[in-house]
Structures are given as structure tokens and as C-alpha cells.
A and B are shown apart, each in its own frame.
Chain A
Amino acid sequence: MNLMRERLKVRVSKERENDLWARLCEQFQPLVVDVALQIRRVLDLPPALVSPGGELFLTGQSDLLYYWISDDRRSIEVGAVYNESAPDQAFDEFRQTVGEALGSDRWQQLTNQAERFQPLLEESDAFPNFEGDIEPARAMAPPANRHLLAEVSRRSGVPLEQVTSTKFEANWDQVAEQLEICQLIQREFQVYCRDTGIQLCKFPSKSALDEAARMGFRSFSSGRPIMEERIIQFLFSTDLGRRLSKRNLWLALCLADALKQIGVERKHLRWTVEKDYRTINLFSAFRDSALLFEVQEEAVTADMAFRFLSRARYYRPDAAFLVTPLPLRQDARQLIDGYRPEGGMRVRILHDLSQLSKELERVQFQTMDRSVEDLLQRFGNLTWVNVGNCVGEHLLGPEPEPTSVQESSETLLDEPEILEAVSEAAETVTPAGQDILDLDLDLDLEELGLGTSPVAPQSTSSSLDDFDLELDLDNLDLGSVRPAAAAKGASLNPLDDLFQEMPEIGSFSPAKEDAAAPETAEPDPVVEPEAVEAEPVAAPEPLPEPEPEPVAVEPEPVPPEPEPVAVEPEPVPATPVVQAPTPSTPDSMAGLDLNLDLDLDLDLDLDLDLDLNLPPAPSQPPPAVSAPPTSTPGEELPEEMLPEVSLPMSERSPEEKVDAAAARALEELRLHGTEAELDDIFQEIHDQAGYSAIVATSEGLTMLGELRPAALTGPVSAYQLDIWEHFRRAMEESGLGSLQSLYIDGGRLHLSVAPTGHQLWLTTAQEVVVSMEESSGSLSADLTLFEAILKKVLEDLGQVQGIEGNLVTGPDGPIEIQYAGSDLSPDTVSVVLSQTLSDCESSFQAMGCLPTRQIVLRGDRFSFSLIPLDKQTVLITILSNNAPKDVWQTRLQGAATMLASVFQ
């Protein structure tokens, strides 16, 4: 489905619109207003054109033309909704007619993109001119090329051998040549004597070297051809190379080129660059769609995916694309797949730019559908036809002009004394200062004797009890209330005020009659023993707006069935059974004209409380029928039977198995020292993927086992003792307790170190795969927000069981202290532990545990978690001795991630 729109800025009065509408109707078939007119024609009523502000016209088979006048009537929008080919001729005629009727032809094309793209324009910069950069950018697609260019840009004039990497399978000569062709680098070939190392000559290009070799150049010292000497290829980056070596830039350029090739104009390309090209957002408008692209040349982490989705939510484009050449990690994919965008935004991952055209077509299709839907929704209200009004006018004649702003009833206006009486009654029966017109009546029919009928108590349904009738006296139409009656009743029981002295029914509209009759206005005193079907409850929304009939209608008793001419209210799917009123209902209710604003709960709660804040009348007898018990056995809610789910509790996770095995190994070592039999236990640990264990001596030598990776076995055995000694001494000298065990999360390892006695140490390790990339973004906010985030995160942490306090410490001492206890000095804790952590950095490096993510020191009194937030800031958490692992491993890490965003 397609949509084309144009706007004409011209003032359109109602008269001009009617003229326009009439002209258009001569050429096209109207669809909206004409329906109402047709009804009037059928009912022999004079046509009444009311300048609706818009109209849909049918043209051709299924195409639509429309006009829509703005609210301020200063512009008119015309357009065509079509499926396949645009109805150009019809649209031109339509537009011409509108222009002639309004006396202007300065049409302006409208697009959806203009509306959606405008906010993006304000927050982005124009995309730079990329002519000439495309070929070099494309050359950057292979990772080896990017690696080489990045290395050369970092240190220009470097030999090729020094910038190659075994991580990439590439012919580095070809890579260098390719980059040179694209003018990203320059090469220089220097020839050295193999014997003396003296530089013999140098050539600015490979072709020059080949040419020299062909011409028979030889070494002047050894006499060998230069091609047999040592040739070193030096690489220099060009300005273009240095520019394109920026991360993600090449991908953004390729994307921009792809967009250009499918018809996106350059002026519709905008971008934002953050954090040295780590995040590049490219905004574009494709036909009617506003698009957001984020390019990431590296593997997208969950953090990146989350930030991408956040940006998509913020910019609210029609579609958001994450463009990355690499497959997404599992967690990132799950995050994006699980995202349910609002407003129909399309979120896609794009690995191949050749798919861009197809994707954008889909976006455009979706955007068009949404635009058409939005457009047609504008006409929703115009399609309403006030059938009741037309029928009433047909039967009763034209509606007279209203003579007053009084909404409720003409009868009331004719009898101003009624108002006085009502006012007087209100002053009499209501507490001081309370206006009766502001009261919401919550009637308790049980107390009134109107609820559960004594005649048919068994048939009292729960729905009857649930009938909830709220009377809004603001809209109470007292109809022909006699002043004397009102005044008389005012001094009595409020129920009497309302019911016993209620007058004859005056006039009321059919819709309200339908709503009110079944519950309150049953005039027939004869007891209906059987429960009757409730009249269809008038749903307030779909009905045409009821207008008070000023014409005096012959009062009729409320019929059990609606009048044939009455507007058929929309039936309620589950029609509740309503008990007929009891005989005690006064006849005078029949005279009541209640223009009630009924808030009908479909549960029909008949437990109506009359909440007038009035003291109960002393003479009021207890209700004949007491309130039914709140529940009976038959009415009890059925219990939901849940299937029994048995959890495989016996199956433990690898982590639990390793923990259990480590505990056994520790016990064995404590009991038997070097005689301990640990082979089976260690085998059990090694059987778990990524886990390993060693026993090291107090001399720093490995006694048993091997870590994964094996190369770290020696360093861990040696340096863990240094780290242990540092922290042990720091804790004991500062009165923080005695160190019992140590947990290190850093680099590729999770290490748990525990002394066993006998000068032996048991170390269990888990090799983990961790993205070494730093967090790719930081919060952009002011210091106040940082501080608020800091406090909030720490406060939240403080609520966690097992956490005694939190400290954030920087190079100059504590930044934030949240510790209410008195056993420890927070200043001492923060200074000593952060300094010790800093002292151990070289040991962590030697153990391959950099960057260090978390250190947990388990003492005999407290445990301490140290999480570096950045190079100088540490989150220190004081934990109780029995704090579960989940707390210090999961909760703290999560909070630290948030805090790290603050400090970065």
C-alpha cells in the first residue's frame, strides 16, 4: 500500500469546505460524510452538511483520495492511498479541483520522513563527503587489512614483519599491496647486505625494485644480485590511511555508499560519532522511512546490543539496523531477538550490505502501512452517524434551538423552584460544606432491601451482589421532582430522600432508559419471582452521544423490552442476571427521571453503599435481608491445580561439583599434607570443562596438578603467594581480621586460593572467556547525576542480605562511604585495601590476571570484595562472613558495571 500526500497552505472556512466537498462529490464517490447524508435522505430529512474537516473519496477500483483540513483551518492536505500504480490522473484532477475551490495552487509535497527525520537532523551532523573514499573503505573489509593499516597508522615506517599477526590467515605481501593500491599506505623496499647488514639501496615501490633486479643490480660488498640480499619492506601510512584506520569508519562509508546506490540522497545522510569512532550511528531517510544504522566492525557484545536498542528507543526511527560483518554473540542476539519495539519499529541485524535494498523495501512497505493506518484513523470519528438523532428528528421533527446552557432538562428549567428545592434538600441532609451535587452515591441495595430478593433468595447470583451502581449527582436529572416532595424528604432518611419521594418519570432518552431501567427504575410492583435477563447494558462508548430530548415525550411505563425505535445498545457478551426489585421498591420511582451517569461494572455488584457521610437514622430498622455471606462453599473460587514439577536436584552444576571436590581436596590436604591422595579428586575437577586445580608449596613451586592454560601454572604457583602475603599482612596489621581464602577474578582466570596447612596451598581455577574490550560507552550526564547514580547503586546494594557496607575509594581516599557498622574503620579499609590492590598489580600481571575484575578476601570476621571500577577507583564491599557466593559474584559485579559507567 502506498501513500502520496501534498499540502496547500490556505485558509479554509467551513463554507469553502462545503463548497469544496460538493465539487469533489461531483467527480468522486464520497465515503464518509455521505453515509450520514444518505440516512437523512432515507428518512426524508433535509441534508445537513456540517463541514467535517475531511473526506475520503473512492477512485478507480480500490484507490482512495482524501482531503484533510488542519485544526486551525489554515492548511489542507490532500493525498492518495493506492496499491499498485499511483492514480496520477485522478489525483491531479482531485488536487486541481481543491486548488480551484480554494484559490491557490502552491502545493507542497509531504512525506512521512519529514516528520520522523526532523528530530534526527537536530541531533546529528551531516555525513562527510565520501567521494573517493569508497574504494579504500571497501579494501578495509578483510580483518587482516584492517589490522595491518591500524598497526601501520600507529607507528609509521615499520617493517612489514613487525605488523603481521598470526591471528589472521593472510598473505601479508598482498595485503600491503592492496592497501598501497588504495593509497592507504606507502611502501619502501630497503635492501641490506646479508653479511654486513649495511643498507645497499632502497626503492620507493615494488616495481622499482623489480626493475632494478631485472637490470642486474648487485650488492657492492658481496656481489650477489640484490634480490638475494635481505629485503625489508617498510610501510608508511598516508593521510587517508590514518583517517580510515579509525574503527568502524570504513564500515560507515561502505554503508553510506550502499545507501547512495539504492537512491538515498546525500543530504539525507546524517551521523553521530562517539568515543573515537567506537560508536557510529548513521541516520538516513529512505523514501518515507527514517532509518537508524549502527555500525560495529567487532563482535557485538550484549552491552553493545543493549546500547544499540537504547539508541533505537531514543531516536524512534521507522527501522533500526545493527550493521556488523561478524555474527552476533549468543547473549547479544538473544537481547535483540527479545526486544519488542513500540510503534512498529523494525529492528534488524545486517551482516551483508547486499541485503540492504531488500530490507529497506520491507521497511518502506511497513512504514507505508502504518502511515495509511494513521491516516484512516483520522477519519474514524467522522464515520460516526448519529442515527438516534436522525430517527428522533424524523419522528418528532427538527430539534429546537437550545435556549439555555442547562444540559439536563428543559422541564427543570421551566420549574426553577425545583432547583431551589434540591439545593435546600442538599443543605439539609448533607454535612456542612458538602455540596450534594458533588456527591457520588454508592448505594447499598442490601441495606435498602433492594438487593437480594427475599422472594427468590436462591436465585441471587453473585453477579447481583457485584452490581456496582455509582450515581453521579452532577448528572442527576431530577426531571419533574416536586419541590415540596424534595423538601419534605430532605429531613428524613437519605434513602427516603432519594427513593421514597421520587416523582413520576418524566422524560428520558432511550439510551439512558435502557441503562437505568433494569436496575433501578422498574415500575412494576409485582414481584417477579424468577430472575429475569437484564436489559442489555448500554455501553457508553459505542453509543451515539445522547442528547436530551427537549420535546416532551409521552411518559410510558418502562417496557420489559426496548422500544423498537430505540437505539439498540451494544449487547454485553455475558449478560448478567439481575434480580427484579423487591416489592418494597416505591412506586414513586416510576416518576424519576434519572439522567444518570452510570458507571456500570459488568460484575454488577449490587452491594451498593450509600456513602453520604450521614449518621444512620435511629429509627431505621435493620434490613430485612441481611447481607449475604461473603462466600459460600458453592461460590468459593476453584483452586488452581498446578502440576507437580520435580526439579533435578541431584544434578549439580559444574561449579558446584568443583566446589565440592575442592572442599574434599582441602580436607584431604589438611589431614594428610603431602601424603594426601588427590588424583581422583583432581581428575574430577579436570573433567569439568575449563576447571583445573593445583597444589603449590609455600616455596612457590607446583607440587601437583596443572592449570588451564598450562603456561600459567608456574606463575600462579609463585605469585599467588605474594598476593596472599600482601593482603594477609594488610588485613592483620589494619585489624581487619585474618585472611582465610582468596578469590581472584581477572584476565582469563577465576582463581580460588586457600591454604591447607602443611605449607601447601590449594588453588582451583576456571578458565573463562571474557571480552577484553573495555566498556564501549559512558553515561553522558553531569556530576549531579553521577553522584545520584553512585548513591542509588550503593543504597540498593546495601539492601542485599550479606552486604554490610560499601565504599568507593579513589586515589585521594574514600569517595563514598555507606557503612553503618562500628566494627571497622571505613577509611582504613578503603585506604589499606585499595593500596594493597595497587601493590599487587605486577603480581596479577605475572599471573595473567589483568585486567583484574574482582578480588574477594575471606577473613575470619568479615569478607571484602574489591572491584576496580577504573584505573584509580575501587568499589570495596564489606561482606558478612557467610555472604553467599551469588551476592558477591553476581550482585556486586552487576552494580560495579553500573558504577563503572559513572566513573569512565
Chain B
Amino acid sequence: MEEILDKLLKINGVEGALVVGKDGLVISSVGTFHPDPDSFGAGVAEALNHLDSHFQARGVCQRVTLDQQTGVTHLTAINEVTFLVAHGSTGINLGRLRLDSDQVSAALGEQL
């Protein structure tokens, strides 16, 4: 699983990638996260659950991109209960991040 996640790290600006369940438990991670992957994963899961509950009229989220002052976080649904999270610096090639995340997500989906 980590080998698959490593593909995202090849994108310029990507700092880390992880797989997290909606329960907030991190399944696998590569790269660096602040303060740590588990905390980051738990925070992302919390945010996702909020989004899903607020916007449930249109179904669950498939992709979410958080554009922040010092970085970008991109979330891609692997299945109903698992998400792929990648984060990186600003100015990252979002188009490539989206495309590669989709591919990684599909590959992970077969494993999970």
C-alpha cells in the first residue's frame, strides 16, 4: 500500500499521503505530516464527516480540495468508508494531483 502511495510523492510539492477511514484511524501513510499522520488523519476524518452530514442531499463527497494559505490538501474517496489524503505546498500542480490521486485511489480500492 505504501508503494502505491509513494506515487503521489513523486508529484512536485506533495509532502505526504495517507489512507484514513471515516472512523479517523489511519491505515497507511507516507511522507511528512504535522503534527503527525494520526492526528492529521483524525482531523481530516472529522472534517469529512461534517461535510457529509451538511451536504448529504447530494450524496457523500468524492473529492475535496482544501486550498489554504500555506498548502493544499486533497481528499479522494477510495470507498464508502476510506479516503485518500494528500497534502502539499502551495503552487502544486492540482490537475496532476487530482489525476494521480484518482489512479492511486483506484489501485488502493482493489486492495481494501
Interface of A is mostly: helix
A738 beta carbon closer than 8 Å to chain B: no
B94 beta carbon closer than 8 Å to chain A: yes
CB distance A699 to B94 under 8 Å? yes
Q: Which residues of B contact A719 (CB under 8 A)?
A: 95-96, 99
**Chain B nearest CB, measured from A706 CB (Å):** 14
**Chain A nearest CB, measured from B66 CB (Å):** 14
**Chain A 666-702 per-residue mask, 1 if CB under 8 angstroms from chain B, else 0:** 0000000000000000000000000000001111111
User: Which residues of B, 80-112, contact A by the 8 Å Cβ criterion?
Assistant: 91-99
Complex: A702 Cα to B12 Cα, angstroms: 19
Q: Which residues of B contact A717 (CB under 8 A)?
A: 95
Complex: A699 Cα to B94 Cα, angstroms: 5
A291 beta carbon closer than 8 Å to chain B: no
CB distance A722 to B93 under 8 Å? yes
A715 beta carbon closer than 8 Å to chain B: yes
Q: Which residue of B lies closest to A717 (CB)?
A: B95
**Number of A-B pairs, beta carbon distance below 8 Å:** 40
Q: Which residue of B lies closest to A699 (CB)?
A: B94
Most buried by B among A698, A700, A722, A846: A700
Q: Which residues of A contact B92 (CB under 8 A)?
A: 699
User: Which residues of B, 31-51, contact A by the 8 Å Cβ criterion?
Assistant: none
**Chain A 66-92 per-residue mask, 1 if CB under 8 angstroms from chain B, else 0:** 000000000000000000000000000
Complex: A699 Cα to B12 Cα, angstroms: 12
**Chain A nearest CB, measured from B46 CB (Å):** 27
CB distance A699 to B95 under 8 Å? yes
Q: Which residue of B lies closest to A843 (CB)?
A: B96
A718 beta carbon closer than 8 Å to chain B: yes
**Chain A 539-582 per-residue mask, 1 if CB under 8 angstroms from chain B, else 0:** 00000000000000000000000000000000000000000000
**Chain B nearest CB, measured from A489 CB (Å):** 101
Complex: A286 Cα to B12 Cα, angstroms: 68
A721 beta carbon closer than 8 Å to chain B: yes
**Chain B nearest CB, measured from A285 CB (Å):** 59
Q: Which residues of A contact B97 (CB under 8 A)?
A: 700
A157 beta carbon closer than 8 Å to chain B: no
Q: Which residues of A contact B91 (CB under 8 A)?
A: 698-699
**Chain B nearest CB, measured from A512 CB (Å):** 93
CB distance B95 to A702 under 8 Å? yes
Q: Which residue of B lies closest to A718 (CB)?
A: B95
CB distance B99 to A846 under 8 Å? yes
**Chain B nearest CB, measured from A485 CB (Å):** 105
Q: Which residues of B contact A586 (CB under 8 A)?
A: none
**Chain A nearest CB, measured from B14 CB (Å):** 13
CB distance B99 to A699 under 8 Å? no
A851 beta carbon closer than 8 Å to chain B: no
Q: Which residues of A contact B12 (CB under 8 A)?
A: 722, 725
**Chain A 842-882 per-residue mask, 1 if CB under 8 angstroms from chain B, else 0:** 00001000000000000000000000000000000000000
Complex: A714 Cα to B96 Cα, angstroms: 8
Q: Which residue of A lies closest to B11 (CB)?
A: A722
Complex: A699 Cα to B95 Cα, angstroms: 6
CB distance A696 to B99 under 8 Å? no
Report B's interface with A, CB cutoff 8 A.
12, 91-99
Report A's interface with B, CB cutoff 8 A.
696-702, 714-715, 717-719, 721-722, 725, 846
Q: Known pairs A700-B96, A714-B99, A722-B12. 9 more at Cβ < 8 A?
A: A699-B92, A700-B93, A700-B95, A717-B95, A718-B94, A721-B95, A721-B96, A725-B12, A846-B99
Question: Mind listing 9 A-B residue pairs with CB under 8 Å?
Answer: A700-B93, A700-B96, A700-B97, A714-B95, A718-B98, A721-B93, A722-B12, A722-B96, A725-B12
